[in-house]
Structure 1
Amino acid sequence: MAHQTPTANQWPSTTHSDADDEIQPLLCSNSQPQPISKLPTRNVISKKTHQDKFIVDHGFSAWLQVLCGWILFMNSWGLPNSFGAFQTFYVKELIPEQSAASVAWIGSIQLFLTTLGCLFGGIFLDRGYLQSLIAVGTGLEVVGLLATSFSTKYWQLLLAQGVCVGLGSGLLALFPITVISMYFEKKRMVAVGIASTGASFTGILYPIVLRYLFTKVGFPWAVRFLVLFILATNAIPMIAMRLQSEGKEGGSKLSLHHFKDPTYSVFVATFTLLTASVTVPFFFIPEYALKLGIEETMAFNLLAVMNAANLFGRLVPSFVADRYGGMSTLLPLTFICTISLIVLPLITATPLLPIIPTLVVFSLFYGFAAGSVMILPAPIIVNLSPISTDLGVRMGLAHLCAAFGGLIGNPISGAVKKEGYGNGDVGAVQEFKWLWWTAALIMGSGMLLLGLARRLRTGSWAGQSVA
C-alpha cells in the first residue's frame, strides 16, 4: 500500500522562475494571475513536511519512475509512432487492394483510441488503480497484436491493431506523465521529456527491426516477437511504478467546468489541431520516398531518422521549457513544423537538390520539432491546472478532445492525395503535395491558437512575465 503523502492537489509552490507566466493559474477571484501559493488549497502542508515526506526532483525513487515511464511511453505512444512501417508494408504487400488513405485509418484509429484512453486512464489513476491499468493495458496490447499477426484482411487489421491495440495503449499512455509530475517540480518538464524519449526510441527501433523481420521470418512472427518484447519490458513498471498517494475516496468526476478556464480551453483546441497534423509525415514519409524512386530500405530508414531526431526533440527543448515556459518553447517549434511541411514538396521538386539528402534533412528538422509538439502539451496542461483540480480528469479531458484530431488528421491528409501520377520526382510531388500542405494548414492553425493561449496566459503578446 502506498504511503499517505501529499497528492498532486496539495503540492505547494516552492520556487519561482521566469516561466511563472505559464505556471500561475488564471482561475482567481479577481481575474488576475496570482502565484499558486495564494490559491485556495486543501490541507496544504508546510514546506518542511513536504520535503520530509517524499523526495522532489531527485533521488532513486523519483528517477525509477522516469525509467518506468520511459518503458510505458515506448510501448504506448511508440506504437502509433511506428505505424509508418506497417502502413508501407500493408499497402505494398499484405493488402495492396486498399488505398493508402484506407490503410491510414488503421493507424488513425489506433492513435485516436490511444489518446481517448487517456481519459479513462486518468479517472482510474485518480482512484489509485495504477497496477490494474498497467495489467489491463498490456493485456489488450498483447491480444491485439497476436490477433494482428493472424490477420490477412483489412477489417481484421482494423479491429485488431486499430481498436484492440489502441485501447490498450490508451490505458498506458497518460498516467506516466501524471505519476512523474508527482515526483518532480522544478525539473518536471525535463523528467517528462526524458521519459517520453521512449516513444522515439521505439520509433527508431521498430521500423528497422520490423523491416528486417518481415523479410526474414515473415509478418506473423515479426509481430509475435513484438508481443514478447512488450510483455518483458512492461513487467518492470508493473513491479516498480508507484503513486505518491492512495487514490481519492469516490474517485474523480467528469465535469465540463474545467472549460470555463479560457486558457485551458484554447490550449485544448491547440492540442487537438497539433495532434491532427503532427504524425502525418510519420505515416506517409516512407511511401513518399518510394514514389520518389528511393529504394525500399532507405525509405524505411527515413522513418528511423525522423524518430531519432524526435528523441532529441523531446529531450532538449524540455530543458528550455523549464526555464522559459512550455508555451514559449512550443510556439517556435510549431512554426518549424509548419514551414517544413510547406516546403517539402517544393524542395523535392527542385532538380538541383539530391533527393536522399533532402529527405534526410527534412526528417531531421521535422522530427526534432515534432518531438516537442508531441510531448510538451501534457506538462503544459499540468502547469495550467490549479491546485484544486483533479489532475487526471483535466488531463484526460484534454486528451479526449485531442483524440478526435488524431482520428481524422491522417485520413483527411491522405484523402487529398492525388492518385495516378506514377513514380518519379514529378509524379510523387504532384500526388503528395496537397497531403503535405493540408497537414501544414492544420498545424499552422494550431500554432495561431497556441499564440492566443500564450497571450491569455501572459497578459500580453510579448509574453512579459506577470506576478
Structure 2
Amino acid sequence: MEEKGLAGVESPQPSVEESFGNLPDTNQSDIDFNSNPDPQLFVVQEDGASPVIDDKSDAGSGPITLLGAETYPEGGLEAWLVVFGSFCGLCASLGIMNTIAIFQTYLATHQLSDYSEGTIGWIFSLYTFLCFAGGIYVGPMFDKYGPKWLVSVGSVGIVVSMMLLSICTDYWHFLLAFGVLNGLASSACFTPCFTTIGHYFRERRGMATGIASTGGGVGGVVFPLMLQRLFNQVGYAWAIRILGLVCMVLFIFAMLLVRKRLPPASNASTHPDFRIFKEKAFFLTTCGVFLLELGLFIPLAYISSYAVAQGFSSAFAFQILPILNAASVFGRALPGYWADKIGPFNSNMLSVFLTVVSVLGIWLPVGHTMPGIIIFVILFGFGTGNNISITPVCVGRLCHTQHYGRYYATCYTIVSIACLVGIPIAGTLAEATGGNYWSLIVFTGLTQCLSFSFFAAAKVVSVGWKPQVKF
C-alpha cells in the first residue's frame, strides 16, 4: 500500500533503523515520518497489520506514535462494563434524539401552535446539527484526554437543558434550551460513548457497538411512551423534569464506567485536521453518511405528524414512534454480529437497501393504511438502527484506533450540515405540496439511494469490484 506524503513537507526523515531499531517486517512505504507536530495522515493498515510505535520519541518531534501489534480484550468484565456505560449514556442522549417527533408534535399543538411546522423544525434541526458539529473538537479531545470530562460536562448540560425546557414558553426559549444547549451537550456525551468501545474491541467491534447503541433505541421506545402518559397525568412541565431526572441516573453510570484504554499518540492534537479527506475511501464514506443522515431524521421528526394527517388518532400517532424505535433496537443489536462476519460496509449497504425498500416500496404507496405504516416503521427502524450502530464501525475500519475519535468526529461534522437542513427541507416540501407528505417521502427515498451508491463506491476504492470480499 502506497502513502502519498503531505504536500510541501521537505524535512529530512530519520531512518527506520535509527528510530525504531529492529522491527518486524513492515513495508517502509506504509509509514509517513514527519517532524511536523500537527496531526499526521497515515496509511490505513490491512487487517492483521499494525502501525509502529516509538515509546521513546519526543512528542511533536518524532514519527507518528501509533501502537504496534496492540491487542484488544474483545471481552472481559472491564470491556463489557464500558459497553454498559456507553449503553446508558446513549440511552439518555440518543434516546432524546429519537424522541424529537413527540416534542415536535406536542409543541406544534400547544406552546408553538402559532408557528409553522417548518419553523418549529428549525429547533430540532439546530439540535441535531450541534449534536454532530460539536464533535469536531470533541473527537480530537477524546483521542488526547479521554472521555471522563467530556461525558461529565455533556451529562450535566443535557440534564440542565431538560430542566430549562420544562419552563420554556416562547420560541426562542426552546431554540436556546433544546436546540443549542442540549445539542452541544449531547455532542460532548455520545461521541465518546461510541469511540471508547473501539479501545476494547476490534474483531467484535460491530457487535459491541451494536449492543451499546441499542441504548438509543431503548430510550426512543421508553421516553415517548413515558411522556405520553406523563403529559396527561402531571402536565408538560413535570413530564420534562421527570425525563431529565431519568437521564441523570443513566448519566451517572456513563460517567463512572466509560473510559479509554489505549494511550494517545504523542503528537495528538485537539485541533481538527481536514487533510484526512484526501483519503478517497474516507471521503466517499463521509458522503454516504451525509446522505444517510439527511433522510434519516425526516421520518423520526414527521412520522407522528404524518399519522395525524392521515386521519389516525393522536394516541396512535404517539405510539407509532416507539414502534419504530423498538425495531431500531433489534436493528442495532442483531446486524452487529453479522457486520463482524461479512464486514461493516457490506452490512451497512444491505441495511440502506432495506431502508430504500421501506420508504419507496411501502411508505409511499400504502403508508396511509394502518398495516402499511406499521410495516414501514418496523422495516425503516430495523434498517436505520443498523446504519446508526455500524456507521461508526465503518469509519473505524478506515483509521487506526488512536485516531478513531478524530475520524469519527470529522466525518460527523460534515454530516451535521445534513442534520441542520434535512428536517426544514422536508417541512418546506410538505407545505409546498399543500400539506401532502408524498414529496418528503420521495426526497427521503432518493437520499437513501444516493447513500447506497457512495458506500458502494467507498468499498470499490478500498478492495475493488469484489462483492464477496469481507469489508
TM-score (norm 2): 0.84
Tell me, yes or no, if structure 1 residue 41 matches structure 2 residue 60: no
For residues 201-280 of structure 1, the aligned pairs below 5 Å read 201-247=218-264, 251-252=268-269, 253-280=271-298
1:195 aligns with 2:212: yes
Q: CA deviation at 1:332?
A: 2.0
Residues in 2 aligned to 1:160 and 1:34: alpha-carbon distance in whole angstroms? 43
1:437 partnered with 2:442: yes
Once the two structures are superposed, residues 55-107 of structure 1 have per-residue CA deviations (whole angstroms, 9 ceiling, x without a partner) of: 61121101000000001111222211110110110111221111111111111
| Aligned equivalents of 1:420, 1:394: Cα separation in 2 | 39
Check whether the contact 2:343–2:470 (CA below 8 A) recurs between aligned residues: no
Report if aligned partners of 1:134, 1:238 keep a CA contact under 8 Å in 2: yes
Report the counterpart of residue 340 of structure 1 in structure 2. Answer: 358
Equivalence for 2:326: 308
Q: Counterparts of 1:238 and 1:40 in 2: how far apart (Å)? A: 31
Alignment partner for residue 314 of structure 2, among 273, 276, 296?
296
Alignment check: 8 A CA contact 1:115 1:173 kept: no
8 Å Cα contact 1:75/1:169 also seen in 2 = no
**Alignment partners' CA distance in 2, 1:348 and 1:75:** 30
Q: Between the two structures, name the one with larger relative contact order (CA 8 Å, sep ≥ 6).
A: 1
The answer to whether the 8 Å contact 2:342/2:470 transfers is: no
Picking from 451, 460, 464, the partner of 2:465 is: 460
Are 1:178 and 2:222 matched, yes or no? no
Of residues 395, 412, 416, the one that matches 1:381 is: 395
Maintained 8 Å contact 1:180/1:188: yes
- Per the TM alignment, residue 130 of structure 1 is displaced from its structure 2 partner at its CA by 2.1
**Matches of 2:113 and 2:330, distance apart in 1:** 35
Paired residues, what number? Answer: 421
SS in 1 for 2:430: coil
| 1:404 aligned residue | 417
Structure 1 regions of 5+ residues with no counterpart?
Answer: 1-26, 350-354, 422-429
The change in CA–CA distance for 1:294 and 1:447 in structure 2 (over 3 A counts) is same
Distance of 1:83 and 1:190 partners within structure 2? 27
CA distance in 1, matches of 2:68, 2:410: 31
Match of 1:4 in 2: none
Which letter maps to 2:371?
P
1:464–1:45 CA distance, 2 compared to 1 (3 A): closer
Percent of residue pairs bearing the same amino acid type? 25
Partner of 1:156: 173
2:305 to 287, 292, 308: 287
The residue that corresponds to 1:352 in the other structure is none
Whether the 8 Å CA contact 1:36–1:386 is kept in 2: the answer is no
State the Cα deviation string for residues 398-418 of structure 1 (Å, max 9, x = none): 110111111111111111003
Deviations 1:231-290 (A, max 9, x none): 122111212222214555564242222111100111011111111111211111111111
For residues 177 and 28 of structure 1, what CA distance do their matches in structure 2 show?
A: 28
Kept in 2, the 8 Å contact 1:187–1:322? The answer is yes
Q: In the alignment, which residue of structure 1 is the partner of 2:39?
A: none
Q: 1:411 to 1:28 in 2, by over 3 A?
A: farther
- List per-residue Cα deviations over 1:143-176 (Å, max 9, x = no partner): 2222211111112111111110011000011112
**Residues in 1 aligned to 2:43 and 2:256: alpha-carbon distance in whole angstroms:** 44
Report if the CA contact (8 A) 1:177-1:379 is conserved.
no
Question: 8 Å contact 2:45–2:51 — kept in the other structure?
Answer: no
C-alpha distance in 2 between matches for 1:33 and 1:258: 11
Match of 1:126 in 2: 143
Displacement of 1:348 after TM fit?
3.4
Task: Tell me whether 1:143 sits opposite 2:148 in the alignment.
Answer: no
Residue 81 and residue 42 in structure 1: after superposition, are their counterparts in 2 closer, same or farther (change >3 A)? Answer: same
Equivalent residue letter for 2:397: N
Give SS of 1:190's match. Answer: helix
2:378 and 2:421 map into 1 onto residues whose CA distance is: 25
Are 1:331 and 2:349 an aligned pair? yes
Query: Are 2:44 and 2:398, in contact at CA under 8 Å, matched by a contact in 1?
Result: no
Give the secondary-structure state (helix, strand or coil) at the position aligned to 1:94.
coil
The partner residue of 1:413 within 420, 426, 432 is 426
1:97-120 deviation digits (Å, cap 9, x = unpaired): 111111111111111111112222
1:137–1:169 Cα contact (<8 Å) kept: yes
Looking at structure 2, the residues matched to 202 and 33 of structure 1 have their Cα atoms a distance apart, in angstroms, of 35
Q: Residue 382 and residue 289 in structure 1: after superposition, are their counterparts in 2 closer, same or farther (change >3 A)?
A: same
Secondary structure of the equivalent of 1:293?
A: coil
- What is the Cα deviation at residue 36 of structure 1? 4.5
Q: What's the offset of the Cα at 1:390?
A: 2.4
Q: 1:358 aligns with which of 358, 372, 377?
A: 372
d(CA) in 1 for partners of 2:135 and 2:250?
Answer: 21
TM-score normalised by L of structure 1: 0.85
Query: Is the contact between residue 151 and residue 192 of structure 2 (CA under 8 Å) also seen in structure 1?
Result: no
Closer/same/farther in 2, CA of residues 32 and 225 from structure 1, 3 Å limit: closer
Aligned to 2:385: 371
Is the counterpart of residue 319 in structure 1 residue 330 in structure 2? Answer: no
CA RMSD of aligned residues (A): 2.4
Q: SS in structure 2 opposite 1:445? A: helix
Structure 1 range deviating more: 241-250 or 435-444: 241-250
How far is 1:439 from its partner? 1.3
CA distance in 2, matches of 1:231, 1:98: 31
| Residues 401 and 45 (structure 1), Cα distance of their counterparts in 2 relative to 1, 3 Å cut | closer
> 1:328 corresponds to which letter in structure 2?
N
CA contact 1:314–1:375 (8 Å) conserved in 2: yes
- Residue 77 of structure 1 contacts residue 114 of structure 1 at CA under 8 Å; is this kept in 2? no
